[in-house]
Amino acid sequence: MLTSVNVIMHPSMKIVIDQNIPGVNETFAHHGEVFKTDGRQLSPVHLAGARALIVRSVTAVNRELLHGTAVEFVGTTTIGTDHLDIPWLEQHGIRWASAPGCNADAAAQYTLGMITLAGRRLGFEITNRSLGIIGHGNVGSRVHRLLTGLGVRLIKVYDPPLADAGHPELCQLEELADCDVISFHVPLIDTGPYPTMGLVSEAYLSALRPGTLLVNTSRGKVTRGPSLRRWLTSGLGHAALDVWPDEPDIDIALLEATTVATPHVAGYSLDGKLRGTQMVYREFCNWLKVTPNDQDLLSGLVVDSSLSSPVRAVDDAILTACPVERDDAALRKLAGISAESRPAYFDALRHNYPERRDFAGWQVPPDTSKEHTQTLQTLGFH
């Protein structure tokens, strides 16, 4: 739980904030009057008189939203910025900020949980498989470290911008085609030399070995939905998806064809959310030229001691900390809901998502074997 503090209001400053962003009273509310709203339903009407707007990835921030408003600062408490029209913001002198890396630990750990659950359902152990990682930034590099910590020996990485910067150990995209598992950790880019929009296409899928597991916790539109659905239903491969091409109105046939399906919550740990709030808050204070409230939002969190005692399998600890099976079951209920109600149900799963901690928020029981304790601590458990 967060520690409550006295909130000092400055009504002259109106700040509009997505209702799903935590830690607002301890940060932004010290500098103005906060108005919370549904980020997906946000419109110019909500921004009347506002000077600052704080959003998540569900809100497209562009001319259509901001033209004619008084907004001078836009912050997104997410690692991605593809929902911000940055050229337009900069052209109109609007300061913007994001939170790169804020939930990278959460997303990487959840990715590991998705692969772990997929392995159980498909009958394989991660340590006996070859892994390909597409994108080696904040999340992809952490996934790499987690896999190494588990003892995975064969890992290939594709990241063309890093290769251009002189990292010779990286592979070409074609070299990952023979990997058993391929995990995507890329931003959504539709222009330039290395676009990722629609990367998982008919041509890409046809080059993969039969039985490949694709894992995507990055951006839904990295995959071409119809192509992936056809590939899965033909029995050529498998998928574990946390992000979907047409969120929140996702393709039920694609959902039903996946091995693991979750509702865009990989980065939804409390640690990551609070870190994102704090990072954007500091940029907000820099813009205002004021001293930020110095409370560390993560300092009031306590370590969870509810892992099974003793931990008898590392997989069990991973799937306790990252409840992928629970989230998968919740999303699959979508198939039994009327088509018009599905987008709201998908959004509700995210809005009402139960509190989840990063691995660092979990205590390894003292009676766990030395071998398991060492592995879990290498993965980041406390």
Is pLDDT of 8 > 80?
A: no
Residue-range domains of the chain with CATH:
14-98+269-288 (3.40.50.720), 104-261 (3.40.50.720), 314-339+349-379 (no CATH)
Is pLDDT of 300 > 90?
A: no
**Catalytic one among 31, 129, 142, 219?**
219
Q: Whose CA is closest to 79, among 61, 60, 56, 95?
A: 56
pLDDT band for 130, please (50, 70, 90 cuts): very high
CA distances in angstroms from 311 to 25, 110, 147, 292, 320, listed in the order given: 38, 19, 19, 41, 11
What is the pLDDT at residue 295?
75
pLDDT (tens digit, 9 = 90+) per residue, 98-126? 999 999 999 999 999 999 999 999 999 99
- The mean pLDDT value for 50-54 works out to 97
Lowest-confidence region among 7-16, 55-64, 199-208: 7-16
Lowest-confidence region among 180-184, 212-216, 297-301, 370-374: 297-301
Q: Is 120 a catalytic residue?
A: no
Q: Whose CA is closest to 106, among 307, 271, 260, 315?
A: 271
Is pLDDT of 229 > 80?
A: yes
Question: How many residues would you count in the chain?
Answer: 382
Q: Is 40 a catalytic residue?
A: no
pLDDT (tens digit, 9 = 90+) per residue, 280-293? 999 999 999 999 98
Is pLDDT of 72 > 70?
A: yes
What is the pLDDT at residue 299?
80
What is the pLDDT at residue 3?
34
Is pLDDT of 161 > 50?
A: yes
What is the pLDDT at residue 303?
83
What is the pLDDT at residue 296?
82
Q: Is 264 a catalytic residue?
A: yes
pTM for the predicted model, two decimal places? 0.88
For residue 131, the tally of other CB atoms under 10 A from its CB is 26
What is the pLDDT at residue 343?
96
Is pLDDT of 201 > 70?
A: yes
Q: DSSP strand E in 251-293: where?
A: 260-261
**Catalytic one among 40, 224, 264, 372?**
264
pLDDT (tens digit, 9 = 90+) per residue, 132-148? 999 999 999 999 999 99
**Catalytic one among 51, 83, 247, 356?**
247
State how beta strands 52-55 and 14-18 pair: parallel
* Sequence-separated (6 or more) residues with CB below 8 Å from residue 308: 316, 317, 320, 365
- The mean pLDDT value for 373-381 works out to 96
